[in-house]
Structure 1
Amino acid sequence: MFSIYKPLIIALIFLFIRCNIHDQTYLEKHLPESTFRGVWVTNVGSDALKSEADIKALVSNCKKYLINHLFVVVWNKGVTQYPSDVLEKYIGVKQETMLSHFDPLEYLISQAHKQGIKVHAWFEFGFSFAYDDPESVWIEKYPEWLGRDREGKILKKNNFMWWNALHPGPQKFLLELIEEVVTNYDIDGIQGDDRLPAMPSEGGYDDYTLSLFQSEYNTDPPIDHKEGSWIRWRSDRLSEYGKEVYQKVKAIRSETMVSWAPSIYPWSEQEYLQSWPDWIKGGYADFIVPQFYRYKLEDYSKIVDLLETQVNREEKKRVYAGVLTSLGGGYRINDTLLIKMVNYHRSKEIMGEVFFYYETFNR
């Protein structure tokens, strides 16, 4: 009986294997070659950092898709994902409670480096200390750090709650966190994104910043938070802070990369005071990953094209594309669209990508 069906069984087994191999390696087969292929790894909507087993699976999946740079969250929601003496000094808590049984950053670095994958510490929340949490310990402990809008309310945008990014207090705290990571870990790079260095342009109306502005101009800042000179005054100071971070990291370990992942320009400047073309031109960015987050190729190509007016050809070599590939709410990019986007990068001499976020490749 078996001999009658043997050819059919073998054919079905071969087809099953072929289909599964195709499903697992489709992107690996069709994405254009890249010397820089990164992915952001967060603890929101993902269990990738919860255990050693999860981290091993993460590294294995990334290796399969030829991902060679991991941008792993180390700071969000007011806490660190690694055990931090700095955090403990400021608020009496050493790290995210759910991760207190181990150090995911240290373990990830060890596993990734075995596979030739570089790891960047991603300070995701930057100058945002909480997400819609009016009971945050940071409010009670450091009220003078709080950002304020022109009505005097705590600075809040899209439910993210913000410090005053121009205040020396939070600036010193974040710099200490960065210094701690670069000193204590065999990290390949650090990264700030659309919240570091950044602040919603609605901010700057706190007592500290008002006093600073008045001391320079003998007048109050404009009521219009998007008035041109007021935007520039604040963004220049944030750019100086970015330069300070860059220099601090390089002084500790010169080979450690410093990168930024801001929103698209000039929206980034108008909304979050991030004048990032200046960061490239000023020499305090090893590379920039603008968040080219769009859902349609036509819209996507338009914002990629804007680069031609923002950086020159030599500067563009330090720009990689930030691509939205999935969201916790259920969105996941179509593989064909992703391949078209990457092909468009190559046509524009953009030679690498960072994908948001890892769960796209957790198949």
Structure 2
Amino acid sequence: MAIQFRTLLQHWRKAVLIPLFLVSLLTVILTETPGIAQTPAVPPVGTPAVPIVRPEIRGVWLTLNDLDVMKDRTKVQEAMNQLGRLNFNTIYPVIWNSGYVTYPSAVAQRQGIQPFVYRGSDGHDILADVVDRAHRQGLLVVPWFEFGFMTPLTSELAVNHPDWLTEQRNGVQTSISGAGEVAWLNPFHPEVQQFITSLVVEVMTQYNVDGIQFDDNMSLPREFGYDAYTRSLYKKETKKDVPANPADQAWMRWRANKITAFMAQLEKAVKDRKSNAIVSISPNYYDFAYKFHLQDWLAWVRQGIADELIVQVYRPNLQSFIEKISRPEIQFAQQRIPTGIGVFTGQRTNPVSIYQIQEQTRAARDRGLGVAYFYYESLWDVAPEPANYRQAGFEALFPAPAYRSGVSMR
């Protein structure tokens, strides 16, 4: 090795090339280091093509489907032990879904939401227990604000605050989503913004969490925004009436910018409470997120609003999966913040093989990307193969640890 090194140095003796050689050598060394994610050398225009090394994201979402696990202290302990043993490093437990929170919330009660709380089997605080058990295994805990601006039309929140809801041009207040028929809180309404901010600050204050995550529902379908409040605000700021076409470019940009501005306020509120907290975002791929849900997450990355990006790419076809994770927006984000891909691990009615999971995980990691799996129970409990076989499959993917500190690494 020493002889080869001296030979190469002699060959590249010119001063202008020596730095490039050293960067290449460092790249080879880091590539062989376990637990390190490395961005491909495809930086934004005008930026040096130097790989940026960050701890690799190895995460999993804990959804309401995982409630049986989260409610039982013994099961939580076993789950966190297993994730730690298999060298995962981050969990994303749900805290906001269907207009309810999964922790005791004074903020929710003040807004007329009944004191309905998912509690553990012995009446304990689920989130507090999950945080404690996860941290003992060295896992970061980034609670997941799943529903974003989405809420069922029948929820207490929607019934008690009808003026908080937005609507389509024809007056319809709901749309069909993966969670069924839902209404949308108006992201431009100051009272809605204050409510969501208060929930987020409450979690950051009451629990020793490492951050907060907002997903694809921290957005608004482009058909919405025709409520009286938003029409008036648009008229006041632009001196124009709201366009009849929901896909009008200026109208889309105005709404997307408003959501971005609110995200900047949320990020500040989180960091004011805990300066090293991770503000994680988990959107759909960019073309869909912006064009259909006014979610300009690329601007969030550019403006430093997000500390972590996990793009949901839930599709069985490997070629389609690779096309989406190779997009330039993702490569751009890799140069700024830790970046990963959301990989679908199955559902009771839609099982996914460990082979597909491994294939997609390797495709992501080959491109310097981390991964987060949706969702915990389908990693090995609800699956087409035996649990021990699935666990061996994940063990083969992550043979060495990848430690994360919880401090935003830009």
**So what's the TM-score if we normalise by structure 1?**
0.84
Q: Which residue of 1 aligns with 2:111?
A: 90
Residue type matched to 2:245 in 1? Answer: D
| d(CA) in 2 for partners of 1:163, 1:97 | 23
Give the match for residue 11 of structure 1. none
Q: Deviations over 1:175-195 (max 9, x none)?
A: 000000111110011001011
- For 2:154 and 2:329, the matched residues in 1 are separated by 44
What is the correspondence of 1:1-363 to structure 2 with a 5 Å cutoff? Answer: 33=35, 35-44=56-65, 46-96=67-117, 101-130=123-152, 134-158=153-177, 159-196=181-218, 198-306=219-327, 308-309=328-329, 311-312=331-332, 315=335, 317-327=337-347, 329-350=348-369, 352-361=370-379, 362=381, 363=387
> Which sits farther off after the overlay, 241-250 or 85-94?
85-94
Q: Secondary structure at the match of 1:300?
A: helix
For residue 341 of structure 1, report the CA deviation from its aligned partner.
Answer: 1.5
What secondary structure, in the 3-state scheme, does the structure 2 residue paired with 1:192 have?
A: strand
Shift of 1:163: 1.0
RMSD of the TM alignment (CA)? Answer: 1.9
The 3 A distance-change label for structure 1 pair 97 and 71 is closer
Tell me by how many angstroms 1:311 deviates. Answer: 4.6
Task: Please tell me the residue identity of whatever aligns with 2:104.
Answer: P
After superposing the two structures, state which structure 1 stretch, 282-291 or 40-49, moved more. 40-49
Question: Identity, % of aligned pairs?
Answer: 30
Aligned residues: 325
Question: Helix, strand or coil: the match of 1:220?
Answer: coil
Give 1:316 shift.
5.7
CA offsets per residue over residues 319-363 of structure 1, 9 Å max, x none?
Answer: 211111112x4223222222221221233222x111101012233
- Decide whether the 8 Å contact of 2:167 with 2:225 is kept in 1: yes
What SS does structure 1 have at the residue aligned with 2:240?
coil
1:280-313, Cα deviation, whole Å (9 max, x unpaired): 111111011111111110110111111x256537
TM-score (norm 2): 0.75
CA contact (8 A) 2:342 2:371 kept: yes
CA shift digits 1:150-188 (9 cap, x unpaired): 111213232222111211122111100000011111001
Which amino acid in 2 is paired with 1:315?
A: Q
Helix, strand or coil: the match of 1:47? Answer: helix
SS state of the match for residue 65, structure 2? coil
SS of structure 2 residue aligned to 1:293: coil
Gaps in structure 2 of 5+ consecutive residues: 1-33, 37-55, 382-386, 388-410
CA 1:310–1:208: 2 relative to 1, 3 Å: same
Q: Which of structures 1 and 2 has the larger relative contact order (alpha carbons within 8 angstroms, sep 6+)?
A: 2
